[in-house]
């Protein structure tokens, strides 16, 4: 299960990077909360880029067999939340990311760096 979870995180990170997401952060939220195992936070500079990042993530995870449980904020494109259960993706435009500052809110969660096994 852990390897499958890591694979999902890697797919999300790769899909976001493909669409030039900025300030990509992976928090191991499961160490401090029961909300999820990982939060992935990314910035898109415009509504179009936020949509492109979200679309890429949803497409790649669907192809890999991961079920999207919930999606919020897509129409507005200011803060898109993609809930995959153990992994929750937050894609912000810069002003919203600065305002909500999830990294500060979850500062006690360890940041993950490096590659995940495929």
Q: Hey, what are 19's tokens?
A: 């669409």
Query: Quick check: 104 pLDDT over 70?
Result: yes
The confidence band for 4, taking pLDDT boundaries of 50, 70 and 90, is: confident
Higher pLDDT, 117 or 74: 74
- pLDDT tens per residue, range 35-87: 999 999 999 999 999 999 999 999 999 999 999 999 999 999 999 999 999 99
49, part of any domain: yes
117, part of any domain: no
Q: For residues 14-33, give the mean pLDDT.
A: 95
Question: CA–CA separation, 15 vs 5, rounded Å?
Answer: 15
What value does the mean pLDDT of the chain take? 92
80, part of any domain: yes
Task: Cite the DSSP H helix spans in 1-118.
Answer: 2-18, 47-63, 94-100, 102-105
118, part of any domain: no
The neighbour count for residue 57, using CB atoms within 10 Å, is 28
Domain that includes residue 84, residue range: 2-112
CATH at 22:
3.30.460.10
Contact 112, 96 (CB under 8 A): no
Contact 72, 50 (CB under 8 A): no
18, part of any domain: yes
57, part of any domain: yes
Number of independent structural domains in the chain: 1
**What percent of the chain lies above the pLDDT cut of 90?**
84
103, part of any domain: yes
């Amino acid at each position: 299960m852990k390897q499958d979870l890591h694979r999902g995180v890697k797919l999300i990170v790769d899909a976001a990077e493909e669409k030039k997401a900025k300030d990509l952060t992976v928090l191991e939220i499961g160490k401090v909360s029961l909300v999820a195992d990982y939060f992935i936070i990314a910035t898109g500079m415009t509504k179009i880029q936020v949509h492109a990042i979200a679309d890429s993530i949803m497409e790649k995870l669907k192809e890999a067999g991961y079920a999207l449980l919930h999606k919020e904020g897509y129409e507005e494109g200011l803060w898109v939340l993609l809930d995959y259960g153990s992994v929750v993706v937050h894609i912000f435009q810069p002003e919203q990311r600065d305002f909500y500052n999830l990294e500060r809110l979850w500062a006690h969660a360890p940041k993950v760096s490096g590659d995940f096994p495929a």
